[in-house]
Structure 1
Amino acid sequence: MYRKAQKQETAAEDFELPFGGKLASDNRWLIMANMIPWSEFEAEYAAIFSAEMGAPAKTFRMALGALIIKEKLGISDRETVEQIRENPYLQYFIGLSCYSNNAPFDASMLVHFRERIDINLVNKVNREMVKQELEKKAEAEKEKKSKAEDSKSEPTNRGKLILDASCAPADISYPTDLGLLNQARKHTETIIDILYNSLLVKTIQKPRTYRNIARKTYLLVAKKRKPTVKERRKAIKRQLQYIKRNLSHIQQLMDLGASLDTLSNRQYKKLLVVAEIYRQQLWLYENKKISIEDRIVSLNQPHIRPIIRGKAGKRVEFGAKLSASCHDGYVFLDHISWDNFNESGDLKSLVEAYKNYTGYYPQSVHVDKIYRTRDNRSWCQERGIRISGPPLGRPPKNVSPEKKKQARDDELIRNSIEGKFGQGKRRFSLGRVMAKLPHTSLTAIAITFLVMNLSTLLSRLFCVFLWQFFKTTSFFPYLINKNAILLDYQQQKLIFALP
């Protein structure tokens, strides 16, 4: 049951502290709390709950705020709850009206928060938050314009759209055929033990699984630094034989009266995954192949697929492939899938989404080589959009300096989305997704993009504050004349170069 709070959102000055005083208005958590449109999406979140039955659920602000705190601080679920319990600013951020020394919820609730808040809702919050800030910026710019500038007609195409794709690796060990078969074999041995113990009348002896011998044969090859192809194939064959025997034993126990109902849901799902792993690995072994469609690379997370990226040091990554767009310094998650896909097919839909979001087509689209297909080029040309990169055909012998400069500038502009991916993977959790379920993993990835845009808004607000501070100082004319300070709002950099 979801019970909407009758009291409106608590203002910062009304937040009750145990020892008196007030919250500082310039605190980052208060500023970020005012940026997020909590109330606009509360009804959509409340729709998944019953209006009458069940215990009251946690509010949308508390659920989303806790996930944002976890991602922003880069901590675990348990540490997130402890940080909220100790910090009044974090308690205000999740919507509490007064400070409490008790934890607002258990650490296990963050798992339910990730299940209830799906990826679509997080993306809506992300886009609406950025849209409100862009509208404020546009209104401020309109006030500064003169009447002569207002009379001029604005161009139909405006802005720069940057597109690229990446992979969010999951937290799994590097998969090998032999290691995957060894895990599958051990799971079948566990199921045999459970089914045999569930028999009321044990008319046969417990089936032999040869688990000790199977483990020794596996370690004999797995511990070698560079086993030969023949040794590896022989070890794979033996593991396949062990799994085949165990699966036949499971069927025999079921014929004698053992029921799969004695297994937990997790064990039953793993048994189905083991059967599919056996089928795939047997086909790969018999046909001497190294790839198969919908290949399973993890027993615990069978939804993960190998994504061929071709990057230096990591030719193949294991996780969700995502396509993102970046404009005006903000990054959005547009397309994500556990299966590999060609990102060039997303260009048209992402450009149309940009038009629906801003009201006009971009002036230029900055992409890498895979997006520059003949179809995409002609489609952009019809709409007056310039696509980055050299034209198709044989390159000319003499290239003008203007085109060289434009090509260099296009690559510099495209570096911004690469920097966003680097920020997400190094600063935040995009480099190793710790969630295990497919839908919670997608939510965790979407939260990363939301937090990155929150950090961008916060840093730009800091730059504006610092600019206003220097304008009020007596050193401002000296600093400007001597080129001592440079503020770049687009790149969000504050560079000091005192002489």
Structure 2
Amino acid sequence: MFLKHYANCSDRKLIEQLNSNLDYQFFCDIELGFERLTNYKIVSQIRCELAEKLDINSIEKILFNSWKNEIENPNQIVMDATCYESEVRYPSIQKLLWESVHWLYNQLRKTCSILGVKMIRSKYIKWKKRYQGFSKMRRKTKSKRISLTRGLLNLLSKFINFEKELSENHNIEFIALYYKRINTIQRIYKQQKDHFDTGEKIKDRIVSIQKDYIRPIVRGKEVKPVEFGAKVNKVQIDGISFIEHINFNAFHEGNRFIQTVQKAQGLTRKKVKIAGADKIYAANKNRKHCSSKNIETDFIPKGKKPKNHKEKKQLRAIIAKERATRLEGSFGKDKEYYHLRKIKAKTKKNEILWIFFGIHTGNALEIGRRKIAKTAQQVA
């Protein structure tokens, strides 16, 4: 898994490189010789097995203990949150409803063929052509969107009722994934039907029938106001990043300040003296916690200026620069070089594992560079 994120490549490409790269074989402690690995799915199988056993907190403690000799300032931390996006298409209402209709229609046709039952009349072909025509429109008017949404909701309702009828009248068993997908489609229909009838905001909105755990996360960025993926609150100790909290639902990172400080102290076994965070963390509760624990921050102070305000201003500038360069720079580095731009895993646990290895691959390489530099200094 380390090599996958280090090489920033697909599973198939990783196996091809492993077959031809002696350095990769040496790293994995294998010697293929003239033999070749042909089952590229072994990478996915290993990922699925590891995902079931992943315990982020306990593993990160082990990693920190291995790296602590290369971490010079364990009592200085910075923190921030980012979103690691999943590979899903942009989820408009019409796309989501059509995917549900299309999948359920194909499943019903297969089921009817097996049972020898006549398929329900639905005018599926007509609605398929209407959706294709709609998707090609450059300007999708409100009336067109409403009309298509109403038709797809009615068609999806007909298919859901027919599927229930088949399940009740015939003794047929499907795999667990089928029942999970049916349940997801039923929830999608209920959410979109209520929204269409009332116009109320959808709570816990499902945006993908394949990844029902993904939720829209409003980030407020100019280019990407909404992102779809896992939101991660990271704490960085002397340039080495650790995962404090990860969730596919939106959360307010400002409420995680105290937990982040506690996470760092649990790893380092030392009291935090300096903590850097942006203004969203600067709530009164967090300020009081820092004052009671004598933790210096880069929060803009309230009230009258203290006597040593010039020195504190300089310290805040240094902390803010550290956060803006090292921590926020690590976000872009993870996404650009360590395979976290778009998470291609298919399940929730696999996505968390994917993010975990992406972040700690970057950490391992940074620790390796520090060890090389230290060795070079000792030799010199």
Fold shared by both chains (TM-score > 0.5): yes
Partner of 1:206: 119
Question: In structure 2, what is the Cα distance between the partners aligned to 1:377 and 1:274?
Answer: 45
Q: Which has the larger radius of gyration?
A: 1
The answer to whether the 8 Å contact 2:254/2:280 transfers is: yes
Question: In structure 2, what is the Cα distance between the partners aligned to 1:295 and 1:137?
Answer: 42
| 1:399 CA displacement | 11
Question: Using a 3 Å threshold, how does the CA distance of structure 1 residues 180 and 293 change in structure 2: closer, same or farther?
Answer: same
> What amino acid is aligned across from residue 422 of structure 1 in structure 2?
G
| 1:95 CA displacement | 2.6
Structure 1, gaps ≥5 residues long: 1-66, 139-156, 472-499
Is the aligned partner of 1:68 residue 2:68? no
Question: In structure 2, what is the Cα distance between the partners aligned to 1:247 and 1:88?
Answer: 54
Is the aligned partner of 1:407 residue 2:316? yes
Question: In structure 1, what is the Cα distance between the partners aligned to 2:119 and 2:273?
Answer: 72
The answer to whether the 8 Å contact 1:70/1:77 transfers is: yes
Question: In structure 1, what is the Cα distance between the partners aligned to 2:268 and 2:284?
Answer: 26
Is the aligned partner of 1:245 residue 2:158? yes
The answer to whether the 8 Å contact 1:363/1:384 transfers is: yes
Is the aligned partner of 1:320 residue 2:230? yes
Partner of 2:219: 309
Partner of 2:22: 88
The answer to whether the 8 Å contact 2:70/2:370 transfers is: no
| 1:221 CA displacement | 2.3
Partner of 2:196: 285
Partner of 1:372: 282
Structure 2, gaps ≥5 residues long: none
Partner of 2:42: 109
Counterparts in 2 of 1:381-392, with a 5 A limit?
381-392=291-302
Partner of 2:141: 228
Counterparts in 2 of 1:74-473, with a 5 A limit?
74-96=8-30, 98-103=31-36, 106-118=39-51, 120-121=54-55, 124-135=58-69, 159-200=75-116, 202=117, 205-255=118-168, 257-261=169-173, 263-289=174-200, 291-392=201-302, 401-415=310-324, 416-465=326-375, 467=377, 471=380
Counterparts in 2 of 1:28-43, with a 5 A limit?
none
Identity of aligned residues (%): 24
Question: Using a 3 Å threshold, how does the CA distance of structure 1 residues 192 and 178 change in structure 2: closer, same or farther?
Answer: same
- CA displacement, residues 50-69 of structure 1 (integer Å, 9 cap, x when unaligned): xxxxxxxxxxxxxxxxx111
Question: Using a 3 Å threshold, how does the CA distance of structure 1 residues 246 and 356 change in structure 2: closer, same or farther?
Answer: closer
Provide the alpha-carbon RMSD of the alignment.
2.5
How many residues align? The count is: 377
**Partner SS, residue 251 of structure 1:** helix
> What amino acid is aligned across from residue 281 of structure 1 in structure 2?
Q
| 1:269 CA displacement | 2.0
> What amino acid is aligned across from residue 109 of structure 2 in structure 1?
D
**Partner SS, residue 4 of structure 2:** helix
Question: In structure 2, what is the Cα distance between the partners aligned to 1:184 and 1:99?
Answer: 45
Question: Using a 3 Å threshold, how does the CA distance of structure 1 residues 182 and 232 change in structure 2: closer, same or farther?
Answer: same
> What amino acid is aligned across from residue 48 of structure 2 in structure 1?
E
> What amino acid is aligned across from residue 113 of structure 1 in structure 2?
I
Question: In structure 2, what is the Cα distance between the partners aligned to 1:334 and 1:101?
Answer: 45
- CA displacement, residues 102-134 of structure 1 (integer Å, 9 cap, x when unaligned): 246832122221222237446644442343232
| 1:172 CA displacement | 0.7
Question: In structure 1, what is the Cα distance between the partners aligned to 2:179 and 2:71?
Answer: 55
Question: In structure 2, what is the Cα distance between the partners aligned to 1:448 and 1:386?
Answer: 31
- CA displacement, residues 140-198 of structure 1 (integer Å, 9 cap, x when unaligned): xxxxxxxxxxxxxxxxx963110111111000111100000001111121122122112
Question: In structure 1, what is the Cα distance between the partners aligned to 2:119 and 2:10?
Answer: 43
> What amino acid is aligned across from residue 50 of structure 2 in structure 1?
I
- CA displacement, residues 372-399 of structure 1 (integer Å, 9 cap, x when unaligned): 1111111121111112221235x87x99
Question: In structure 2, what is the Cα distance between the partners aligned to 1:219 and 1:134?
Answer: 57
Question: In structure 1, what is the Cα distance between the partners aligned to 2:312 and 2:361?
Answer: 37
Relative contact order, CA 8 A, sep 6+: which one is greater?
2
| 1:443 CA displacement | 0.4
TM-score (ref. length: structure 2):
0.91
- CA displacement, residues 413-461 of structure 1 (integer Å, 9 cap, x when unaligned): 1111101111011112222101011101100100011101111012223
TM-score (ref. length: structure 1):
0.70
Question: In structure 1, what is the Cα distance between the partners aligned to 2:239 and 2:332?
Answer: 14
> What amino acid is aligned across from residue 291 of structure 2 in structure 1?
Q
> What amino acid is aligned across from residue 217 of structure 1 in structure 2?
R
The answer to whether the 8 Å contact 2:233/2:243 transfers is: yes
Question: In structure 1, what is the Cα distance between the partners aligned to 2:55 and 2:24?
Answer: 22
Question: Using a 3 Å threshold, how does the CA distance of structure 1 residues 158 and 440 change in structure 2: closer, same or farther?
Answer: closer
The answer to whether the 8 Å contact 2:64/2:267 transfers is: no
The answer to whether the 8 Å contact 2:298/2:317 transfers is: no
Q: Which has the higher helix share?
A: 2
The answer to whether the 8 Å contact 1:168/1:322 transfers is: yes
Question: Using a 3 Å threshold, how does the CA distance of structure 1 residues 403 and 176 change in structure 2: closer, same or farther?
Answer: same
**Partner SS, residue 225 of structure 2:** strand
Question: In structure 1, what is the Cα distance between the partners aligned to 2:175 and 2:133?
Answer: 33
